[in-house]
């Protein structure tokens, strides 16, 4: 199966709706241009992950304007779409940082509320609720476990996803440039320790004064980097093979030697 990761530039001068339309047309062309079966977008790309002051105004229901634009694009292209995350307004609760996974028919098949909120005593950590559910989804022949940005620092989440059947992880992010080395290192670590693909899709540009790391990366189950972006908006195209997960786990069966559960 083939995946396209779209490292979107979040420019505060581009209105959110224009960005939605621009991203929708990028999603639409991934099947025809690259033969993609799955398209992956970053964390909070409509607003920017650090644009806290816009979270309340731009919050939307699960099937709000971002979903609508992405559903139309996924269906037009006939691709699975991990649409990155949105600021979700739960009518009965707080805001959440929620990732959406859409089928090639444009249906919302899974939503994942980010479990580890970033910001310590500010931003997302105080403005949003914490997700509580581990989420996996089987798409185009692979079972993906979902995480978001700061989640990458919590290996127990990814091990839990492996226990739930994950062969690959999708990690949308809005990771800051000043900790770029952590991003690449942690993406590789999660791949090696879990013998799973990692599809880590970040944003480009600078918003709310925070320069983004870019450097979206795809790592295979042996820890090899299959593709890595630069700092600008860019599309990464990679082939993923479920058999590679099986052979890696069979030939070096470290996951079978676990003693603490």
Ligand X SMILES: O=C(O)CCC(=O)C(=O)O
In three state form, how does the secondary structure of 136-195 look?
Answer: EEEECCEEEEECCHHHHHCHHHHHHHHHCCCCEEEEECCCEHHHHHHHHHHHHHHHHHHC
The reply to whether 153 sits near ligand X by the rule CB under 6 A is: yes
Q: What's the N-to-C CA distance of the chain in angstroms? A: 32
Q: Is 258 in the site for ligand X (CB under 6 A)?
A: no
Catalytic residue among 60, 88, 124, 149: 149
Under the binding rule (CB under 6 A), the answer on residue 150 touching ligand X is: yes
Kindly tell me which of 23 and 44 has the beta carbon lying closer to ligand X. 44
Identify whether 43 is a catalytic site residue.
yes
In the complex with ligand X, the residue whose CB is nearer, 172 or 221, is 172
CB 103 → ligand X: shortest distance, Å?
Answer: 27
How far is residue 10's CA from residue 46's CA, in Å, rounded to a whole number?
Answer: 8
CB of 174 to ligand X, least distance (A): 5
Neighbours of 244 (CB within 10 A): 16
Judged by CB under 6 A, the stretch of 32-40, 104-112, 176-184, 247-255 that binds ligand X is 176-184
- For position 49 contacting ligand X by CB under 6 A, the verdict is yes
Least Å distance, CB 44 to ligand X, is 8
Q: Is 233 labeled as catalytic in the residue annotation?
A: no
DSSP characters over 37-75:
SEEE--TTTTT-TT-GGGHHHH-B-TTSHHHHHHHHHHH
Q: With binding defined as CB under 6 A, does residue 174 bind ligand X? A: yes
Residue 122 CB neighbour total at 10 angstroms: 10
171 touches ligand X by CB under 6 A: no
Distance between CA atoms of residues 202 and 5, nearest Å: 9
Of 58, 60, 88, 114, which residue is the catalytic one? 114
Give yes or no for a contact between 107 and 35, defined as CB atoms under 8 angstroms apart. Answer: no
256 part of the active site: no
**Which residues are at the interface with ligand X (CB under 6 A)?**
49, 118, 149-150, 153, 174-176, 179, 182
């Amino acid at each position: 199966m083939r995946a396209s990761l779209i490292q979107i530039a979040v420019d505060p001068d581009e209105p959110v709706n224009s960005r939605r339309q621009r991203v929708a047309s990028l999603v639409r062309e991934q099947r025809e241009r690259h033969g993609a079966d799955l398209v992956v977008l970053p964390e909070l790309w409509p607003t920017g992950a650090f644009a806290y002051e816009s979270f309340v105004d731009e919050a939307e229901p699960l099937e709000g304007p971002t979903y609508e634009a992405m559903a139309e694009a996924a269906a037009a292209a006939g691709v699975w779409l991990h649409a990155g995350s949105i600021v979700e307004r739960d009518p009965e609760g707080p805001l959440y940082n929620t990732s959406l996974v859409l089928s090639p028919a444009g249906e919302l098949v899974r939503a994942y509320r980010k479990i580890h909120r970033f910001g310590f005593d500010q931003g997302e950590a105080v403005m949003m609720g914490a997700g509580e559910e581990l989420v996996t989804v089987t798409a185009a022949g692979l079972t993906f476990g979902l995480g978001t940005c700061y989640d990458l620092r919590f290996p127990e989440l990814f091990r839990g996803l492996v226990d739930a059947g994950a062969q690959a992880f999708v990690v949308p992010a809005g990771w800051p440039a000043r900790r770029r080395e952590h991003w690449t290192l942690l993406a590789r670590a999660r791949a090696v320790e879990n013998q799973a693909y990692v599809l880590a899709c970040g944003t480009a540009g600078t918003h709310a004064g925070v320069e983004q790391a870019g450097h979206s990366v795809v790592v295979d189950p042996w820890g090899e980097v299959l593709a890595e972006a630069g700092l600008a908006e860019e599309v990464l195209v990679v082939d993923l093979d479920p058999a590679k997960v099986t052979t890696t786990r069979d030939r070096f069966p470290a996951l079978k030697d676990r003693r603490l559960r």
